[in-house]
Amino acid sequence: MAESCQNNAGENMLSSTPGDSQSLDKRVAAGQLIKRYYFQLTEGCGDPNCNNENCASSKKIQALSPNQAAAQALDLFARKGRLCVGTNKNELPNTLFPEITSASSSALTDQQLLKGLWVPPTSNVPSHSTGDKSVISKITKLTETSFKKIIDNCKEYGIYSKLVHTLGHIFANPELLGQSFIGPMSDQCTSTAAHGQLSKEQLRSMEVDLDKDSDSQEAVAEARLQEMGQEVTVDVCSIRRSFEALSSIESQNYESALVHALILLCETIELDMKYGRQKAEVNLLNVFVVVFELPWLGSGDYFESVLPSLCRACAFLSLSQQATLVRFWAAHSVPNLRNLVQTLQQLISFRVLSGDFGRDYAVNDDSTITACVKVMRMLYCVNIFSCTAPCNNSNHASVDRMETDDSSKGALDVFSFGMDPPRLGAKQNKTRKNDPLMSELGVSILDCRKPPVAFADFYNEPLSDVVEMDRDFAYFAAASEAPPSASNVGLKISFMNFPFILTPAAKALGLYYDNRIRMYSERRQSIFNSVMNGQPSNPYLKLKIRRDHVIEDALIGLEMVAMENPSDLKKQLVVEFEGEQGIDEGGLSKEFFQLVIDQVFNPDYAMFAFNSDTRNFWFNPTSFESDAQFTLIGIILGLAIYNTIILDIHFPMVVYRKLLGRKGTFEDLQELDPTLWKGLTELLEYSDSDMEETLMQTFSISYKDVFGVVYNHDLKENGASCNVNLENRREFVELYADYLLNECIGRQFAAFHRGFAMVTDESPLNTLFRPEEVEQLVCGSHIFDFEELQNATEYDGGFDNKSETIQHFWSVVHELSVEDKRRLLQFTTGSDRVPVGGLGRLKLIIARNGADSDRLPMAHTCYNVLLLPEYNNKEKLKERLMKAIDYSKGFEKVGEMCFRLHTARLTIESRTIKVKG
C-alpha cells in the first residue's frame, strides 16, 4: 500500500500540466526517482525478505556496472517500475549527490525527497522550501579547485551525475558563469555588485556626493554596475587548467549536458541583449572569455550548435565591451588566435557552402554568417593590437604618421593646379571611414608590420565568391550615407565594412562599382548642365595626345581639367591619339598609360632612380623635373585604379604605405636598399664598447645622385661633430631612414601624393585595401597561372573547349616560357599584367576566324578577343601565333590603332597584322 502511494505520488507530480506552479517539480521529482531506482538496483532497500526483482536486496539481479545500473534505472522510471519503500536514502554517497547532506537527509521525508533537491540548469531559480527550511544547497560559482574536486570525485566513483549537474547549472546561467574562475588579483573587486552580491542601495550608500534625487541615484547606481561589468576579471590560466582536467574524462559522460547548457546560455544572452534586458550584475565579458576558451569549439555538436549561438550572442556586445575583450585576448590568447580564426573560417565556409543563396536570400541575410564575421573582426583587431599595443603611445604614433597629411594642405596652395584646397580637404574628411572598433582601440592596420596571424588567413574565399558585390555595395553606400546619429536598425550588413574577410578580387569588384557609379553620376551631371544651363556637354574625361609629345600633352590636358573642374577627373577616361582614327573602348587607354609609364621611368628623365638589386624605382631627390610632372604621375596612378587598368610600375611597398598615410620607417628600408639595411642592422647589433673608434661614423651622411654628384647632409644639428656610439645608434638609424624615405624626397612625394588624391579622395580605397593590396590593384597579381585562364576562357564562332584547334592552342600556350606568355597576354589584352584575383578574372574570348589559312591570328584588345583561324595542325598554329606576336611588337613601336570588333583588317603581303587602339 505504501508502495502504491509512493508511485502514485510521483506519478501525480510528473503529470503536472505545463505552466502549472508545480511544473518545475516534475523535473525535480524525475531526477530523484531515477536516483532511487539507481540505488535500489545497486544497493537495495535493506530488507532481506524483499521480493522485488528490481531490487539488489532480493538477490534476483546480477551485479551491474554503474553505466548498466543507470540505463536500467532510466528504463524503470519510463515504465513506472516497482520502487521499494525501504530504499536506504541515508546511505547515498555525498560525493555523488552533494545536495543531500548527512545532516539534512535524515530529516527528509519521502515527499520532501521528491521535491526540490535538484536545481535545473536555468537562471534565477528560486529555492524551494518545505515549511520554513530550504532543501536546496545552491551552487553560486566555480573555482579551479572546486571544479577539479568534482571531476576527481566523479572519476573515483565512475558516476558523473554531480559533474553533469554542475555543468548544467553553472554553464547555463550567465550570472553564475560570470562569477566563476575569478583571478586571484580580482577577488576583492569582483565580489561586489558587478557579480550581484551588492544591491543598488548598497552601491548608492557608497557614493558620498550623490544628489538626493532618487532618479539620479538610480542612474548612478546603474552606471556603476555597468562600469564594473566592463572588465574581464577571470583567470584565463585557471580556466585552461580546468578544461584540461575535464578533458581527462570521456566526453560522452558530460558532453550532452555541457552542449545544451551552452546553447541555453547563448540564447539567453542573445535575447536579453537584443531586447534590452541585460542585467548589470552579469559580467558578460567573463562569460565570453570562459566559453571561447573551450578546446572543443571546432568539433562535433560544439561546432554545429554552440559556436553559431555563441557568435550570435557575442555580436550584440557594445563597442566598448568588444574593445575590452580585444585588449584582454591580445594580452592572454594570442597563441590560440590562429586556431580560433581557423575554426570561425570553417564555420563561415560551412554555412556558405551548405546554404542556398541567391537574389531572394543573400548571404548578407544569414544571421550566423554575419555574426561570425563580426566576431572575426574582433579577432582581426586582436591580431593588430597584439603587435601594435607596445607602440600605441602618442609619442611613437606621431613619429609614424605621414607628415604629408599636414604639409600637403599647405603645399596645395602652390602646386595644386589652382584647385580649391578647402574643397579637397573637405572631401577627404567627409568620405574617410575608419573601422569603429579600431578607432575605439586607437590602432590602425598600417601600424601592424608582423602580425601573429597572416592577414591572408582572414580571407574567406567561399564567402567572397558567393557574395553579390553589387548588392553588398548598395548596403555599403546606404550605411555610409546614413547620418551619424541614425540607427542602423533596418540596414543590412555590408561585407565591405569588414574588408579583411574579402579577397582582393572581391574588394576590387566593390571598388569598381563605386568608381562606375561615380562616373555615371558625373556623366548625368554633365548632361543636366548641358540641358539646363546651356553648358557644353562633356560626359567624359577626354585627352587628345600626340605620340611624340605624350608627357607634355597629358600634363597640359590634366592641368586644364584640374584648374577648371577637378571633379572631371572622376569621369571615365577616353583617349584619342592625334591623326589616328579609332574609338577608345579601353585599348587606347591601356596604351596611353603604358606610353606615359615608359617615358616617365626612362633614365633620361631622371625623375626616378632604379635599383638594379631590387629592380624597384625610387624618387630622385635631386630631380630637376617640376612638381607638376610628379603630380601627373600621381594622377596617372589614381586614374589607372579608377579606370581598372593595370600598370607596369615597380615601386617598393613603402610608396603605397605612404600613399595610405604612413611615413617610411627603418623596416621599409629593407626592401628599398637591402645592402644599406643590412649594414644598419649590423650597427644596431654591434655590442663592443669601441664603436666610436672602430666605425668612425658621425651623424653626417653622404649620397650620390643619378649623375654621380656627391651630397653631404647632417642628420641633426652639428651632426658632423657627433659620433655614433652604443647609446645613440638607434637614433642614428632612425634619422638615417627617415631622411632617405621621407625628408629628402618630401617635395617630390608631396606632389605625387597630391595628384593621387585628386582622383581617389572620395574613393573607399583607403578603407578597403592594405598597402599590399593597393599594389595588386596597380600592378596586378604576380602569379601567371594559365590553367586558370584556360578554365575561364569562353569560345565563340563555332569553337568550344573540345575543338581540336583549341586543344592545340592551349597545348602550345602551356609550353611557352614565362616571357612569351607575357607577350601573349600583351597581344590579346593590351597588357602583360595579371589582374587582381588571377588570370581567371581576365575573361578571354577565343573566336573562330575562318577555316585553315595562312592568315595570322588577330586580337581585339578592347574586348580581350582573340580571333583564331582553324589551323589544321599544332605546328602551324604555333608558328602563326608567334609570328603574330612578333609582328605586333614591332608594329607597336611605329604606332597602333584600336578598332571595334568589326573594323577592317590591315593586310600586308596577304598576312593580317593585329591592330590596336
pLDDT tens for each residue of 851-907:
888 888 888 877 788 999 988 888 888 888 888 888 764 333 333 333 333 233 333
Summarize the confidence of residues 480-489 as an average pLDDT. Answer: 51
Distance CA 880, CA 871 (A): 9
* 862 catalytic residue (yes or no): yes
| More confident: 7 or 44 | 44
Q: Which residue has the higher pLDDT, 414 or 620?
A: 620
> How many whole angstroms separate alpha carbon 223 and alpha carbon 782?
55
Q: Among 744, 779, 862, 898, which one carries the catalytic annotation?
A: 862
Q: Cell digits for 801?
A: 573547349
Which cell goes with 529? 548642365
In angstroms, how far is the first alpha carbon of the chain from the final one? 105
- Strands (E) in 751-827, as ranges, are 794-796
The pLDDT score that the predictor gives to residue 127 is 37
CA distance 595 to 717: 44
* Per-residue cell: 910: 596577304
162 to 28, 100, 333: CA distances (angstroms): 15, 12, 31
Which pLDDT band, with edges at 50, 70 and 90, does 706 fall under?
Answer: low
- Confidence band of 346 (pLDDT split at 50, 70, 90): very high
Cα–Cα distances in angstroms (integers) from residue 418 to residues 269, 558, 732, 826, in the given order: 58, 12, 40, 38
pLDDT number for residue 566:
81
How sure is the predictor about 747, in pLDDT bands with cuts at 50, 70 and 90?
A: very high
Q: pTM of the entire structure?
A: 0.73
| Fold classified for 781-913 | Hect, E3 ligase catalytic fold (3.30.2410)
Contacts of 299 (CB under 8 A, 6+ apart): none
Residues across the chain = 917
Listed by start position, the domains of the chain span 2-131, 139-200+217-293, 533-780, 781-913
List pLDDT tens digits, range 191-203: 333 333 334 444 3
How sure is the predictor about 424, in pLDDT bands with cuts at 50, 70 and 90?
A: very low
Closest CA to 460 of 492, 495, 415, 410: 495
Give CA–CA dist 41/64, Å, rounded.
8
For 799-829, the pLDDT digits (tens) are: 888 888 888 899 998 988 888 888 888 888 8
How far from 543 is each of 529, 579, 672, CA to CA, in Å?
A: 21, 14, 34
Residue 310 cell numbers, joined? 555563441
Average pLDDT over residues 680-687: 89
pLDDT score of 392 more than 80: no
Do 533-780 and 781-913 have matching folds? no
**pLDDT tens per residue, range 326-338:** 999 999 999 999 9
Please say if the pLDDT value at position 587 is more than 50: yes
pLDDT digits (tens, 9 = 90+) for 714-726: 898 888 889 888 8
pLDDT averaged over the chain? Answer: 76
Distance between CA atoms of residues 398 and 442, nearest Å: 13
- Average pLDDT, integer, range 642-667: 90
Q: At 483, is the pLDDT very low, low, confident or very high (cuts 50, 70, 90)?
A: low
pLDDT over 70 at 33, yes or no? yes
User: If pLDDT is split at 50, 70 and 90, which confidence band does 140 have?
Assistant: confident
Measured in whole angstroms, how far is the alpha carbon of residue 637 from the centre of its chain? 27
Res. 13: pLDDT tops 50 = no
- Asked if residue 501 lies in contact with residue 749, where contact means CB atoms within 8 angstroms, the answer is no
Closest CA to 445 of 359, 377, 384: 384
Q: For residues 284 and 511, what is the distance between their CA atoms, to the nearest angstrom?
A: 38
pLDDT at 403 over 70: no
pLDDT tens sequence across 351-371: 998 888 888 888 999 999 999
The H-assigned helical ranges of 275-366 are 284-292, 300-301, 307-314, 319-332, 337-354
Q: Poorest-confidence range of 122-131, 555-564, 707-716?
A: 122-131
Most confident of 11-25, 162-176, 215-229: 162-176
Burial class (CB in 10 A: 0-12, 13-18, 19+), 577: buried
Kindly report, residue by residue over 68-89, the tens digit of the pLDDT: 788 788 878 777 788 786 544 4
Count other C-beta atoms under 10 Å from residue 36's C-beta: 24
Rounded Cα–Cα distance for residues 882 and 20 (Å): 87
- The predicted structure's pLDDT at residue 402: 56
Q: Is the pLDDT of residue 452 over 80?
A: yes
Q: What is the pLDDT of residue 295?
A: 94
562-567 contact pairs (CB < 8 A, 24+): 562/416, 562/417, 562/418, 562/419, 562/635, 562/758, 563/417, 563/418, 563/419, 566/419, 566/423, 566/424, 566/758, 567/522
Does the domain formed by 533-780 have CATH 3.90.420.10?
no
Most confident of 3-12, 693-702, 824-833: 693-702
